Structure 1
Amino acid sequence: MALQWFPGHMHKALKEIKEALDKVDILIEVLDARIPYSSENPEIAKIRGDKPCLKILNKYDLADPEITARWQAHLESERGVTTITTSSDKPAESKQIMQIIRRICADKDASVKAINAMITGIPNVGKSTLINILAGRVIAKTGNEPAVTKAQQRIRLDNGIVLHDTPGVLWPKLENPHSIYRLASSGAVKNTAMEYDDVGFFAADYLIKAYPELLKQNYKLDEIPDTEIEFLEAAARKRGAIMSGGRVNLHKICEVLLTELQSGKLGRISLETPEMLAREKIEIAEAAAKKAAAKAKRKQRFKDGSATPDRQERKEKRNQKRAEQSARMKKNRGQ
């Protein structure tokens, strides 16, 4: 599935983030606790350098708590990274973020100058809601649709911390093809940027393997079928997603599945684990190496010409004619 979601304002925002990063004391990156890797912008990781980073695993109430704990340990193994979980249903816990910022920036906190913190995050990760909780008032516009924030803004909090808000930024190319589907499954992109059926099949395939009991419970199934198409057909009959003639409406049941997944109705579900990503990174590296080798081979074949005897013979004759012509020209110049 091709994900078409990199509008102009995102390109501009990423450029502004790069320019402003040197002026802040700490970077705050809001991640979706269900997809910490796929919601982590690799462009931000490239430009962060040694800047202290607080990674907030938001929407914790929707994610599998055991898997989230493994993600926190994995993320904090990186130098300069601290993590915390937050959720909109427990706003008081989000107040801990300011205490963590002060602890990380202890030297700056002891001075009279304000602590400058930049907050980033992909669209629809809950960044604006989090900002409003920290500010204690409505500062940032919120909405269920991605990409609500369109420009940077500075927010002075009551405790001497200045928050530099940035628009939600996705990136033009994803190295991991699975991340495209995870972003779409979680609702990080607009409905118009994806195909429900395609994403629904991906989500169904993952869920019947990782959370079969939750599916049995929610769709009142005695057994979970082995394949995603069989599951979707069974779920469609339970939910009445049937067209005239008794045919299953796959588009409708995929829409139902994704809506219930994103809202948390299916239960606390994580769409990726650190172990999965370790395997996928190896696969991606192997695929990239294979692609590079094939490209080098094509380039060499183009340079050497075809390996077929007749074309090789014609090439040798051309080279011989060129050599003879060059020799005649040299002889004529010498006369």
Structure 2
Amino acid sequence: MLLQRLDPAAPSHDMASEDFLSGDLLSRLPPAGAPISFFEFWPGWLFYTPIVLYWIAMGLRHGDLSLPTAANPRIETGGLCGESKSGILDMAGPLARRWIAPYATFMSGNAEAAFAAMTEAGLSFPVVIKPDIGCNGTGVKKVDDATSLRSVVESFPSHTRLLVQELIDMPVEGGIFWMREPGQPRGRISSITYKEVPTLIGDGVATIEDLVRRDRRTGRIPDLYLPRLKRRLHESPAAGERVPLVFAGNHCKGSIFHDGRRDVTDALSRRLDDILSDVPEFHFGRIDLKARSVSALRKGEDFRIIEINGVGSEATHIWDGHTTLYEAYRAQFEHYGAAFRIAAANRARGWKSAGAWSLLRAWRRQKRLMRAYPLND
């Protein structure tokens, strides 16, 4: 995870040092400060209304509003909603599995089952616990020891399938969107996004709440950070003390996203072709990963996949603060247009979409579960 760069107008931010953050990425982050575009934190209904209308228009054109679920026909709803994270990872063949961070699943409410799952996967603390069904980082927790594990397992509703995964200790976190037309040997990378965790630096006087509210960026969206820090709001971090604001690398949870499309290379494209072609009938989606450095990622080396997401994922470079609204909508329409096109090709091959009612049931189940999950770290 990346540290927020120093903003001269906001002295609470910490300058990332090259011994923590890969120097080749640090040199390419935007100049001091992480801007917020005027649409970046619009209400979801406002930003996504044109996209929903586009989806409906494409659905009417193709005669099936749920057609994109056939883009990844072996995944429930194509990965649009309600799909199992572990179910997708389980589909990986031997080549793809070598690139995936080790994981195992267990049912909530049973700490012993969690310990057994860790043993089965060869995991040791720290680990990441997350719900098997969910999105946007909801319920994702970092667990450092056995006591914390018991507490986290008990915080989820009973009989909820959870996933425990190795915490990958690599400094570059990102998401890469990949798509491949059915019948084609190669796919293409349409988006790379680097994720940055805003980190405050104490001065020995200001409280954590003060640091959040006076910062140029976090002060505009304090509701994303303060609930997670409610037990520490009145603490005054020592001078130089770092306070990461989030753990889950999701934009809607407060992480900062940077457009990394300049780092698409033939080597990386071929590596993803090899990996994702080893996931049966996977054609469209985003992989979330951690890498040793950007230079290694460009070579298609030294990274680990955390999740493989389907049709419900976004090309998240649109949340870079420098992206214009026109560019964001153009990317959204291009990607969802590709989802319909790929799904139509799969339908011609004999695959079927999930159907509107199945899609609605999956969406309602996911929403019901997410309302019961604990607050993510």
Fold equivalence (TM over 0.5): no
Bigger RCO of structures 1 and 2 (CA < 8 A, at least 6 apart) = 2
Q: Rg bigger for which structure?
A: 1
Relative to the length of structure 1, the TM-score reads: 0.23
Relative to the length of structure 2, the TM-score reads: 0.21
Higher helix share: 1
Higher strand share: 2
